[in-house]
Amino acid sequence: MSTFRPCILIPTYDNPRTVRRVVEQVRAHLPEVVVVDDGSGPEHRAIVASLGHEGLAHVTHRTRNGGKGAAVKTGFEVATGLGYTHALQVDADGQHALGDIPRFLALAQAQPDALVLGQPRFDDTAPLGRRIGRKITLFWTWAEAGSAIGDAMCGFRVYPLSSALEASRRTGDRMDFDPEIAVRIAWTGAPILQVPTAVRYVAREAGGVSHFKPWLDNWLISTMHTRLMWERVMTTLFGRRTATRLPAPRSDA
Protein backbone atom coordinates (compact mmCIF):
# COMPACT_ATOMS: atom_id res chain seq x y z
CA MET A 1 0.00 0.00 0.00
CA SER A 2 1.40 3.43 -0.87
CA THR A 3 2.00 5.89 1.96
CA PHE A 4 -0.08 9.00 2.32
CA ARG A 5 1.55 11.92 4.11
CA PRO A 6 -0.15 15.16 3.11
CA CYS A 7 0.60 18.77 3.91
CA ILE A 8 -1.24 21.99 3.20
CA LEU A 9 0.54 24.25 0.70
CA ILE A 10 -0.23 27.98 0.77
CA PRO A 11 1.38 30.25 -1.85
CA THR A 12 1.09 33.86 -0.78
CA TYR A 13 1.83 37.24 -2.25
CA ASP A 14 0.78 40.23 -0.18
CA ASN A 15 -2.23 38.89 1.71
CA PRO A 16 -1.38 40.59 5.05
CA ARG A 17 -4.90 40.64 6.45
CA THR A 18 -5.90 37.08 5.68
CA VAL A 19 -2.89 34.75 5.72
CA ARG A 20 -2.74 34.18 9.48
CA ARG A 21 -6.42 33.31 9.70
CA VAL A 22 -6.09 30.91 6.75
CA VAL A 23 -3.12 29.17 8.39
CA GLU A 24 -4.95 28.88 11.72
CA GLN A 25 -8.07 27.51 10.03
CA VAL A 26 -6.27 24.90 7.92
CA ARG A 27 -4.33 23.74 10.99
CA ALA A 28 -7.64 22.70 12.55
CA HIS A 29 -7.74 20.01 9.84
CA LEU A 30 -4.06 19.30 9.26
CA PRO A 31 -1.26 20.96 11.26
CA GLU A 32 1.38 20.27 8.59
CA VAL A 33 1.50 23.56 6.71
CA VAL A 34 4.00 24.84 4.11
CA VAL A 35 3.76 28.55 3.28
CA VAL A 36 5.66 30.05 0.35
CA ASP A 37 5.99 33.82 0.45
CA ASP A 38 6.40 34.90 -3.15
CA GLY A 39 8.64 37.94 -2.71
CA SER A 40 6.03 40.02 -0.85
CA GLY A 41 6.58 43.51 0.56
CA PRO A 42 8.06 44.00 4.04
CA GLU A 43 4.76 44.07 5.95
CA HIS A 44 3.53 40.75 4.60
CA ARG A 45 6.97 39.19 4.69
CA ALA A 46 7.17 39.90 8.43
CA ILE A 47 3.71 38.42 9.04
CA VAL A 48 4.63 35.24 7.18
CA ALA A 49 7.97 35.05 9.02
CA SER A 50 6.16 35.26 12.36
CA LEU A 51 4.02 32.25 11.39
CA GLY A 52 7.25 30.33 10.95
CA HIS A 53 8.74 31.55 14.24
CA GLU A 54 5.59 30.54 16.12
CA GLY A 55 5.80 27.05 14.66
CA LEU A 56 2.49 27.38 12.82
CA ALA A 57 3.96 26.69 9.38
CA HIS A 58 7.13 25.78 7.57
CA VAL A 59 7.92 29.06 5.82
CA THR A 60 9.99 29.69 2.69
CA HIS A 61 10.62 33.18 1.32
CA ARG A 62 11.30 33.58 -2.39
CA THR A 63 13.67 36.50 -2.88
CA ARG A 64 11.57 38.03 -5.64
CA ASN A 65 8.05 37.66 -6.93
CA GLY A 66 7.78 34.91 -9.53
CA GLY A 67 4.04 34.33 -9.88
CA LYS A 68 1.58 31.91 -8.33
CA GLY A 69 2.92 28.98 -10.33
CA ALA A 70 6.50 29.72 -9.36
CA ALA A 71 5.47 29.87 -5.69
CA VAL A 72 3.65 26.54 -5.92
CA LYS A 73 6.64 24.95 -7.66
CA THR A 74 8.86 26.10 -4.80
CA GLY A 75 6.26 24.61 -2.44
CA PHE A 76 6.39 21.24 -4.26
CA GLU A 77 10.15 21.09 -3.76
CA VAL A 78 10.00 22.13 -0.11
CA ALA A 79 7.16 19.70 0.67
CA THR A 80 8.93 16.83 -1.08
CA GLY A 81 12.13 17.64 0.82
CA LEU A 82 10.17 17.48 4.08
CA GLY A 83 8.95 13.98 3.20
CA TYR A 84 5.34 14.73 2.28
CA THR A 85 3.65 12.69 -0.46
CA HIS A 86 0.74 15.05 -1.21
CA ALA A 87 0.13 18.79 -1.11
CA LEU A 88 -3.31 20.31 -0.63
CA GLN A 89 -3.09 23.79 -2.17
CA VAL A 90 -5.27 26.68 -0.95
CA ASP A 91 -5.20 30.44 -1.52
CA ALA A 92 -4.05 32.76 1.27
CA ASP A 93 -6.84 35.24 0.61
CA GLY A 94 -9.62 33.40 2.43
CA GLN A 95 -11.51 32.52 -0.78
CA HIS A 96 -11.85 28.82 -0.17
CA ALA A 97 -14.25 26.87 2.03
CA LEU A 98 -11.65 25.37 4.35
CA GLY A 99 -14.26 23.19 6.05
CA ASP A 100 -14.11 21.05 2.87
CA ILE A 101 -10.48 20.06 3.51
CA PRO A 102 -11.39 16.65 5.02
CA ARG A 103 -13.38 15.77 1.88
CA PHE A 104 -10.39 16.59 -0.36
CA LEU A 105 -8.00 14.61 1.83
CA ALA A 106 -10.29 11.59 2.09
CA LEU A 107 -10.47 11.32 -1.71
CA ALA A 108 -6.72 11.76 -2.10
CA GLN A 109 -6.06 9.10 0.51
CA ALA A 110 -8.46 6.68 -1.18
CA GLN A 111 -6.75 7.23 -4.58
CA PRO A 112 -3.21 8.44 -3.90
CA ASP A 113 -2.29 8.73 -7.60
CA ALA A 114 -5.27 11.02 -8.34
CA LEU A 115 -5.31 14.77 -8.80
CA VAL A 116 -8.21 16.08 -6.72
CA LEU A 117 -9.65 19.30 -8.16
CA GLY A 118 -12.05 21.72 -6.48
CA GLN A 119 -15.05 22.49 -8.67
CA PRO A 120 -16.04 26.01 -7.68
CA ARG A 121 -19.57 26.99 -6.85
CA PHE A 122 -19.53 30.80 -6.99
CA ASP A 123 -21.85 33.14 -5.21
CA ASP A 124 -22.61 36.63 -6.53
CA THR A 125 -19.27 38.00 -5.22
CA ALA A 126 -17.52 36.61 -8.33
CA PRO A 127 -16.65 39.39 -10.81
CA LEU A 128 -18.23 38.97 -14.24
CA GLY A 129 -14.87 39.19 -16.05
CA ARG A 130 -13.47 36.27 -14.04
CA ARG A 131 -16.59 34.17 -14.70
CA ILE A 132 -16.28 34.72 -18.45
CA GLY A 133 -12.53 33.97 -18.47
CA ARG A 134 -13.22 30.80 -16.54
CA LYS A 135 -15.81 29.62 -19.09
CA ILE A 136 -13.31 30.16 -21.91
CA THR A 137 -10.67 28.13 -20.04
CA LEU A 138 -13.29 25.46 -19.33
CA PHE A 139 -13.83 25.09 -23.07
CA TRP A 140 -10.10 24.88 -23.84
CA THR A 141 -9.24 22.38 -21.12
CA TRP A 142 -12.16 20.25 -22.31
CA ALA A 143 -10.68 20.36 -25.86
CA GLU A 144 -7.20 19.54 -24.51
CA ALA A 145 -8.01 16.81 -22.01
CA GLY A 146 -11.69 15.92 -22.15
CA SER A 147 -14.42 16.33 -19.58
CA ALA A 148 -12.60 14.61 -16.70
CA ILE A 149 -11.00 17.84 -15.54
CA GLY A 150 -14.07 20.04 -15.19
CA ASP A 151 -12.92 23.43 -13.85
CA ALA A 152 -9.12 23.60 -13.99
CA MET A 153 -8.79 27.14 -12.59
CA CYS A 154 -9.71 26.53 -8.97
CA GLY A 155 -6.73 26.88 -6.63
CA PHE A 156 -8.17 24.45 -4.07
CA ARG A 157 -6.82 20.99 -4.95
CA VAL A 158 -4.66 18.06 -3.86
CA TYR A 159 -1.56 17.09 -5.81
CA PRO A 160 0.30 13.80 -5.59
CA LEU A 161 3.76 15.37 -5.28
CA SER A 162 5.72 13.00 -7.52
CA SER A 163 3.54 13.59 -10.58
CA ALA A 164 3.10 17.29 -9.75
CA LEU A 165 6.85 17.86 -9.63
CA GLU A 166 7.30 16.11 -12.97
CA ALA A 167 4.42 17.96 -14.69
CA SER A 168 5.41 21.34 -13.23
CA ARG A 169 8.72 21.26 -15.14
CA ARG A 170 6.74 22.12 -18.28
CA THR A 171 4.25 24.68 -17.02
CA GLY A 172 4.08 28.46 -16.87
CA ASP A 173 4.83 30.34 -13.66
CA ARG A 174 1.88 32.68 -13.27
CA MET A 175 -1.87 32.26 -13.42
CA ASP A 176 -1.46 29.95 -16.43
CA PHE A 177 -0.07 27.38 -13.98
CA ASP A 178 -3.27 25.94 -12.46
CA PRO A 179 -5.00 24.94 -15.72
CA GLU A 180 -1.78 23.83 -17.41
CA ILE A 181 -0.62 21.47 -14.67
CA ALA A 182 -4.10 19.95 -14.45
CA VAL A 183 -4.04 19.17 -18.19
CA ARG A 184 -0.48 17.83 -18.08
CA ILE A 185 -1.26 15.54 -15.14
CA ALA A 186 -4.43 14.35 -16.92
CA TRP A 187 -2.29 13.54 -19.97
CA THR A 188 -0.23 11.11 -17.89
CA GLY A 189 -3.40 9.06 -17.39
CA ALA A 190 -3.72 9.84 -13.65
CA PRO A 191 -7.28 9.77 -12.29
CA ILE A 192 -8.86 13.21 -11.90
CA LEU A 193 -11.37 13.57 -9.07
CA GLN A 194 -13.70 16.52 -8.63
CA VAL A 195 -14.97 18.04 -5.39
CA PRO A 196 -17.71 20.70 -5.56
CA THR A 197 -16.78 23.53 -3.21
CA ALA A 198 -18.03 27.05 -2.52
CA VAL A 199 -15.69 29.87 -3.61
CA ARG A 200 -16.24 33.50 -2.68
CA TYR A 201 -14.41 36.68 -3.50
CA VAL A 202 -13.61 38.31 -0.15
CA ALA A 203 -14.41 42.03 -0.02
CA ARG A 204 -11.45 44.40 -0.14
CA GLU A 205 -12.51 45.89 3.22
CA ALA A 206 -12.17 42.43 4.75
CA GLY A 207 -8.64 42.05 3.38
CA GLY A 208 -9.54 40.18 0.20
CA VAL A 209 -7.04 40.89 -2.55
CA SER A 210 -6.73 39.26 -5.92
CA HIS A 211 -3.46 39.82 -7.71
CA PHE A 212 -4.89 38.42 -10.94
CA LYS A 213 -3.72 40.81 -13.66
CA PRO A 214 -6.44 40.73 -16.31
CA TRP A 215 -4.24 41.67 -19.30
CA LEU A 216 -1.05 39.80 -18.45
CA ASP A 217 -2.67 36.71 -16.96
CA ASN A 218 -5.31 36.35 -19.68
CA TRP A 219 -2.56 36.71 -22.29
CA LEU A 220 -0.46 34.03 -20.57
CA ILE A 221 -3.49 31.75 -20.29
CA SER A 222 -4.24 32.19 -24.02
CA THR A 223 -0.68 31.37 -25.10
CA MET A 224 -0.66 28.39 -22.74
CA HIS A 225 -3.81 26.98 -24.40
CA THR A 226 -2.24 27.47 -27.83
CA ARG A 227 0.81 25.51 -26.62
CA LEU A 228 -1.30 22.69 -25.18
CA MET A 229 -3.54 22.45 -28.26
CA TRP A 230 -0.45 22.29 -30.47
CA GLU A 231 0.96 19.47 -28.36
CA ARG A 232 -2.35 17.65 -28.47
CA VAL A 233 -2.55 17.93 -32.26
CA MET A 234 1.05 16.71 -32.61
CA THR A 235 0.37 13.80 -30.26
CA THR A 236 -2.74 12.86 -32.21
CA LEU A 237 -0.90 13.05 -35.54
CA PHE A 238 2.43 11.57 -34.54
CA GLY A 239 1.70 9.41 -31.51
CA ARG A 240 4.22 9.64 -28.71
CA ARG A 241 6.18 12.47 -30.30
CA THR A 242 5.56 14.88 -27.41
CA ALA A 243 5.91 12.20 -24.73
CA THR A 244 2.43 12.89 -23.40
CA ARG A 245 -0.68 10.80 -23.70
CA LEU A 246 -4.34 11.60 -23.57
CA PRO A 247 -6.39 10.50 -20.56
CA ALA A 248 -8.42 7.31 -20.75
CA PRO A 249 -12.11 7.95 -21.39
CA ARG A 250 -14.13 8.38 -18.19
CA SER A 251 -16.01 5.27 -17.17
CA ASP A 252 -19.13 7.33 -16.39
CA ALA A 253 -18.99 9.30 -19.68
Ligand X SMILES: Nc1nc2c(ncn2[C@@H]2O[C@H](COP(=O)(O)OP(=O)(O)O)[C@@H](O)[C@H]2O)c(=O)[nH]1
Q: Does 67 bind ligand X (CB under 6 A)?
A: yes
Closest separation in Å from C-beta 231 to ligand X = 24
Angstrom distance (rounded) from CA 173 to CA 155: 14
Which of 9, 23, 35, 71 is in the footprint of ligand X by CB under 6 A? Answer: 71
Which of 91, 176, 180, 217 is in the footprint of Mg ion by CB under 5 A? Answer: 91
Which of 79, 87, 92, 149 is in the footprint of ligand X by CB under 6 A? Answer: 92
Q: What stretches of 64-176 show up as alpha helix (H) in DSSP?
A: 68-81, 101-110, 128-145, 161-168
Give the DSSP H or E segment for 118.
strand 115-122
- Taking alpha carbons only, the member of 209, 197, 207, 206 closest to residue 99 is 197
> Which partner in ligand X, Mg ion, none is near 13 (CB below 5 to 8 A by kind)?
ligand X
- Taking alpha carbons only, the member of 67, 95, 61, 60 closest to residue 81 is 60
Angstrom distance (rounded) from CA 155 to CA 177: 10
Q: Does 212 bind ligand X (CB under 6 A)?
A: yes
Work out the angle at residue 226's Cα, subtended by the Cα atoms of residues 144 and 177, and round it to the nearest 5 degrees: 75
Which of 45, 61, 211, 227 is in the footprint of ligand X by CB under 6 A? Answer: 211
- Residues near ligand X (CB under 6 A), total: 17
Residue pair 186/203 in contact by the 8 Å Cβ criterion: no
Q: Does 178 bind Mg ion (CB under 5 A)?
A: no
Which of 17, 20, 44, 68 is in the footprint of ligand X by CB under 6 A? Answer: 68
Closest separation in Å from C-beta 138 to ligand X = 15
List, in sequence order, every residue forming a beta bridge with 6; answer none if it has no partner.
86
Q: Does 94 bind ligand X (CB under 6 A)?
A: no
Burial of residue 57, with CB atoms counted within 10 A of its CB: 0-12 exposed, 13-18 middle, 19 or more buried: buried
> Which partner in ligand X, Mg ion, none is near 11 (CB below 5 to 8 A by kind)?
ligand X
- Per CB under 6 A, the segment of 8-16, 114-122, 222-230, 234-242 that binds ligand X is 8-16
> Which partner in ligand X, Mg ion, none is near 37 (CB below 5 to 8 A by kind)?
none
Contacts to ligand X by CB under 6 A: 11-13, 15, 38, 65, 67-68, 71, 91-93, 95, 155, 210-212
